[in-house]
Amino acid sequence: MGIFGALNTAVGGMRAQSYALENISGNIANSQTVGFKREDTSFVDLIPDDLPSKQLAGGVMASSRSTNSVQGDVQNATVGTYMAINGSGFFVVEKPSSFTDNRPVFDGVDLYTRRGDFALNKDGYLVNGAGYYLMGIPIDPATGNPVGNVPQLLQFNNGFLSAEATTRIQYQANLASYPLTNNHDTSVPGSELLNPDPSIYDVDPTVAGTGTVIANDVPQFLNDSVSGGAITGFDSLGAPANVQLRWAKIDSASSGGTDTWNLFYQTDSTATGTDVAWKNVGVDFKFDASGRMSPAVTTVPLTGVTIDGVTLGNVTLDFGTNGVTQFSDPDGTVKSSIVQNGFPAGTLQNISVNDKGRIVGTYSNNRTIDLAAITLANFNSVNGLKRMDGGAFAATDDSGAANLTGTGKIVGGSLEGSNADIADEFTKLIVTQQAYSANTRVITTSNQMVQDLLNMLR
């Protein structure tokens, strides 16, 4: 049986090398496929049961060896919704089981992929090049926190962002210790200050007075104060209001007092006569010799703010800790930074993926909002996953159930390439060809030996 056993072993060897050749051909064919994971071939020897001294080398059996845990190269891409995973994890996706009225119908079976060439389709879903729909967790735009922890199909067909009223203005500024107002004269002590004397102002605008600037006093007020900056605020319907701020110094340490400032905001740019044009925020900002507020003022609540007929309501001026200082400034002006939290309504313009693994929407009102968090799934045995068409995988008993603990980092505007290397595959191709040829040589030799045996019996 030795010659016939050799024939069977050689045939098995040819079958095993053919199996390896099929894997190699598939790897080469998919060397440019996004997110492709190559299949290597493992060979297992088959040993006949016999005494140790009588055992033969035996035959061979081929099987596939997955490389799902081997990452391909991450390459830059120009599409904002493309993404790659640097590290472990898989995108959670679904594929429609059918279509009704050109709309996808899903069967609720989660699949997993590393193919990240996702783009918006006509229905607002993110779909990759193989037709798989991305899943993730929506984000509450008000809090920025994920809504739940179970991935769901992501659809972005509601492209409208409601208006948000301004409720807080974050303000930081440095007030020049000597403000260069229009009325200042370095040769006249105190000329840089606002003097509320009745001979100058019809109504005292300081905190100690009425705290308002009427229209008749506006020219004098503008000459006695310096601009504190401006920002556009919004009411609850998104109507804009130009929030103008001005600072006026009302006392000075150089005049024997305490460096004190008042802050004003404009309420009516078209006021006339005795109409109120500017309002004092109602706080004396006092500074010590080091240029710091003493006492510190961190916030100032403004009640019922109305600017040029636009009602903002209650707004908080947030200065933070040491947000306002008084240091020397050669320009004699106020250097300020102003940020507010309101915005008008807007429509979704485009979406992209950031490196925090979130899908970000950009709106026509220049707002950028996190819309969804991308979920990464992991498995105890990633090489136990079942391969599907299009670079997707299904969970099996061998892989274990998916757990949403993928530790990889999502890289926006990038794609993971195939992990099949053409040079390496061609090397394996040559070796496989030689092994196959060697097995055919065994068959030829065995056949010749059988012929010799038959000739001897004749």
The residue written with tokens 């340490």 in the block is: 253
Residue with tokens 């493309």: 82
Place of tokens 């699949």: 111
Pairing of strands 168-176, 324-327: parallel
Q: Which amino acid is at 237?
A: L
Q: What is the pLDDT of residues 322-378, one digit of tens each?
A: 889 999 999 999 999 999 999 999 998 899 999 888 999 999 888 899 999 999 999
List the beta strands (DSSP E) in 31-78. 39-46, 59-66, 74-76
Residues constituting the chain: 458
Inter-residue long-range contacts of 435-438, CB under 8 Å, 24+ positions, other chains counted: 435/13, 435/17, 436/13, 436/14, 436/17, 436/18, 436/21, 438/13
The predicted structure's pLDDT at residue 187: 93
The CA distance from 143 to 178, in Å, is 43
**Residue 50: per-residue pLDDT:** 64
| Architecture of the CATH domain 168-340 | Sandwich (2.60)
Mean predicted confidence (pLDDT) in 232-256: 95
Distance CA 314, CA 168 (A): 9
- Between 54-58, 107-111, 160-164, the lowest mean confidence (pLDDT) is in 54-58
Q: Name the residue ranges covered by the structural domains of the chain.
A: 2-61+422-457, 74-157+376-416, 168-340
Contacts of 299 by beta carbon, 8 Å cutoff, 6+ apart: 316, 317, 318, 319
**Exposed (0-12), middle (13-18) or buried (19+): which is 180, by Cβ within 10 Å?**
middle
Residue 98, classed as helix, strand or coil, is: strand
Lowest-pLDDT range of 54-58, 175-179, 190-194, 224-228: 54-58
Q: How confident is the model at residue 226 (pLDDT cuts 50, 70, 90)?
A: very high
Look up the pTM and report it.
Answer: 0.74
Please state, rounded to an integer, the average pLDDT across all residues of the chain. 92
CB 367 within 8 A of CB 350: no
Q: What is the pLDDT of residues 267-321, one digit of tens each?
A: 999 999 999 999 999 999 999 999 999 999 999 999 999 999 999 999 999 999 8
